[in-house]
Amino acid sequence: MTYDFFNLPFTKSINNGLDDSATSMQKKLRATPHAVSLIAHDDSLARVWYGRMILPPKNAYSAAMNTTYGDIRKLLVDTPDAKVSPGLGCSSMDMRALSGGGEASACGEDELLCWARCMSLSEYNVSGSTCADQNLPLQCINPRDQFSSGSFHGDYYPACSSSAEAVTPYPEIPAPAGNCAAEWEAFSTDSSYDHRFDLTTTANDGAVLMWSVVNGSIKARLAFNNTFGWLATGLANVGGGKNGMHGANVLMAMPGGNYSAATGLDIDEGSSVKSFVIDPTDTSFRHWQEPVGTNPNAQVVSSECFTELIFDADNINDIPFNLTGTDQMIWAGNGDDYFMGYHGLNRARFTVEWSTGEAYFGAFNAEENTVTSTSSGGQFTLLTASLTAASVVYSLML
């Protein structure tokens, strides 16, 4: 096997500034530890593949994913079971490798290149023949009936559609006119609460959770350093997909109502805070847009710069807060659009002990007595790229 490496240990050595005091072992370069797994095949057949491991700069832009490689890496770390494209090609941790940003020909007969992966047609009750019967082409589309080449990340799926409109970004919320940065510290500080956990990382826009325990209830305020597209926090579903997001019970503030995946929120309906259970398998809001239970004792306040979600509760959807122990929580926010769009890096999973005020990113593993950090900026994963002509799984371990 032949490998073409961008050698991370070498780069780290440069950054750390190796000097004459470094030992020979410290100076010795090695290939980054990795593993390759190929799908089993008959002994009479041969499998040939070529791979390259590189680490694009975090601010390098991926046209296929419509975001930076820094965002992609952090998404892969925070949602290890997500089928996202982690490399320069259209590869993922368990999908058929695609060449040069994605080739539909690499997908199977019952698949279509869509959402940066080969999506099953049968899961969406479509096929080339059913579309032909309707005199419609089989396309990768979004709920706004815009077609995609299949290489973009977002709410896409295979469908029979005659749409000739290429995908466009959601209409953006107007940017603030004022100097928001100068006002954030004051907005995110409130001495009336007993405890405070800064959710801000180098990757997100900034958020702070403040709370007090009063008469068996959590009185809390989540401050978000962005305009109001939506803002949510709640109880992580321990063991759930996408780092506990799938199946989580959350309080979500929205700036409008009458949501439609095609037209977004109706802002004229006014803002609200409601309880939801995130779908156990599907991420997009349209799959779990119906609120559950009664309206929580909560409110949302927003300005052109900031958003705050304030609530007073002892449970979410009848799941009580653990006031004598810890809860695994999640938060996320969007300040970009009124379509309940992607949160980007404005999210995290964290653990909080309500009574003492102790909190940290990630989840505590009692069996191993360790904390798995899952904040937006807390981990690093080397990514694979440019894999061709094979079904490959790379497990990269630094």
- pLDDT > 70? residue 337: yes
Count CA atoms within 13 Å of residue 142 on its CB side.
26
Q: Are strands 4-5 and 50-53 parallel, antiparallel or unpaired?
A: parallel
Of 249, 244, 233, 277, the residue nearest 372 (C-alpha): 244
The pLDDT value recorded for residue 378 is 37
The pLDDT value recorded for residue 91 is 42
Compare 20 and 196 and report the one with higher pLDDT.
196
| Domains of the chain: residue spans and CATH | 4-93+380-396 (no CATH), 104-160 (no CATH), 181-372 (2.60.40)
Count CA atoms within 13 Å of residue 220 on its CB side.
24
Residue 333 pairs in a beta bridge with 231
Evaluate whether 116 touches 95 at the Cβ level (below 8 Å): no
Residues 6+ positions from 239 with CB-CB distance below 8 Å: none
Average pLDDT of 146-167? 92
SS3 342: coil
Compare 267 and 33 and report the one with higher pLDDT.
267
The pLDDT value recorded for residue 115 is 83
Average pLDDT of 63-82? 64
Average pLDDT of 211-233? 98
Q: Of the ranges 2-11, 24-33, 126-135, 173-182, which is most confident?
A: 126-135
Of 126, 97, 96, the residue nearest 110 (C-alpha): 126
Q: How confident is the model at residue 154 (pLDDT cuts 50, 70, 90)?
A: confident
- Cα–Cα distances (Å) from 103 to 99, 100, 162, in that order, read 6, 8, 21
The pLDDT value recorded for residue 267 is 97
CA distance 76 to 68: 13
pTM reported for the whole predicted model: 0.70
**H helix intervals, the chain:** 8-16, 24-27, 69-78, 128-133, 181-187, 241-244
How high is the mean pLDDT of the chain? Answer: 80
Of 187, 204, 346, the residue nearest 196 (C-alpha): 187
Evaluate whether 254 touches 230 at the Cβ level (below 8 Å): yes
The pLDDT value recorded for residue 18 is 45
Question: For the CA atoms of 96, 100, 104, 109, what is the dihedral angle to 10 degrees?
Answer: -30
Q: How confident is the model at residue 71 (pLDDT cuts 50, 70, 90)?
A: confident
The pLDDT value recorded for residue 137 is 95
Residue range 254-277, pLDDT digits in tens: 999 999 999 999 999 999 999 999
Of 388, 213, 205, 195, the residue nearest 307 (C-alpha): 205
Question: For the CA atoms of 91, 4, 71, 233, what is the dihedral angle to 10 degrees?
Answer: 70
Token match 């995946």: residue? 261
- pLDDT > 80? residue 89: no
- pLDDT > 70? residue 324: yes
Compare 298 and 80 and report the one with higher pLDDT.
298
The burial of 310, by beta-carbon neighbours within 10 Å (0-12 exposed, 13-18 middle, 19 or more buried), is given as middle
- pLDDT > 80? residue 134: yes
Evaluate whether 125 touches 138 at the Cβ level (below 8 Å): no
Phi, psi of 218 (to 5 degrees): -95, 115
Two tokens, residue 373? 């950090």
